[in-house]
């Protein structure tokens, strides 16, 4: 797979997707996440039955095997989805990439009962990336204010959830993660909400990338989406009710 030509170009090799733009400041919700400045972010596919717990060493091994040099500084996401199913989308100042699989759905019923999935499947899906996972890496050529970069996580997560609900009936999986990035030397932008150019472009790119990756993962492989948590190999349903109260004054 050759390097694509958007502002955030991507290259896939040996189960690793590299997303590159020099000098990008990234914010990651994934393993070893947070803010950092690096030229690249990575999405790494793990094999079926993967049970490594030394994640730092494992990531170093995978990036070295894929011959990506100076990789340790960039954020890394892990997924059970093959990087052959990764898809990208771009609009205006934003480019986004996604891998999407729903073997470990996380349902949020609006009228929950007191039944939940077993503790075994709940703990298993929390411990490691499951066979599914929806990972998103989105970057903008704008320079975002600190709060705007953080808010872009929320914008991308909302777009991911809306897309997954429409396509699968689930808002996400138990192991979803998002990385967003911006160019500190770009045009300064104070806000990134849905009504801004950056926010609207991010929503569109995430929608298209997630939808396309789902099609690649299921339709092109002739596999079937789970119809419920019970039908899935892994997954959880939040079937408890929280107590509602009015804040004191």
Encode pLDDT of 111-128 as tens digits.
886 554 444 444 344 445
What's residue 219's pLDDT? 84
Q: Show me where the domains of the chain are located.
A: 9-237
Encode pLDDT of 81-111 as tens digits.
999 999 999 999 999 999 999 999 999 999 8
What's residue 71's pLDDT? 54
Q: Which residues pair with 27 in a beta bridge?
A: 35, 180
What's residue 220's pLDDT? 76
CATH number of 9-237: 3.60.70
What's residue 131's pLDDT? 58
Spans of the chain below 70 pLDDT: 1-5, 70-72, 113-131
Ordered DSSP codes for 66-103? TT-TT-TTS-EEEESS-GGG-EEEEETTEEEEEEEE-S
């Amino acid at each position: 797979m050759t390097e694509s030509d958007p502002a955030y170009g991507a290259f896939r090799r040996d189960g690793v997707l590299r997303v590159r733009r020099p000098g990008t400041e990234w914010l990651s919700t994934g393993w070893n996440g947070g803010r950092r400045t690096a030229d690249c972010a990575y999405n790494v596919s793990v094999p079926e039955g993967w049970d490594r717990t030394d994640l730092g060493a494992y990531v170093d091994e995978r990036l070295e095997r894929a011959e990506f040099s100076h990789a340790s500084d960039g954020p890394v996401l892990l997924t059970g989805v093959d990087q052959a199913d990764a898809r990208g989308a771009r609009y205006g100042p934003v480019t986004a990439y996604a891998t999407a699989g729903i073997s470990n759905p996380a349902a949020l019923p609006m009228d929950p009962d007191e039944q939940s999935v077993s503790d075994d499947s709940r703990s298993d899906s929390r411990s490691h990336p499951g066979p599914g996972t929806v990972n998103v890496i989105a970057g903008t050529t704008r320079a975002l204010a600190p709060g705007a970069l953080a808010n872009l996580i929320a914008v991308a997560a909302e777009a991911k959830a809306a897309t997954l609900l429409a396509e699968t009936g689930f808002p996400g999986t138990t192991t979803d993660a998002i990385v967003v990035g911006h160019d500190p030397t770009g045009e300064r932008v104070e806000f990134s909400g849905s009504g801004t150019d950056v926010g609207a472009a991010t929503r569109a790119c995430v929608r298209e990338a997630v939808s396309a990756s789902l099609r690649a993962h299921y339709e092109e492989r002739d596999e079937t989406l789970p119809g419920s948590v019970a039908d899935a190999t892994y997954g959880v349903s939040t079937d408890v009710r929280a107590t509602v109260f009015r804040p004191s004054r």
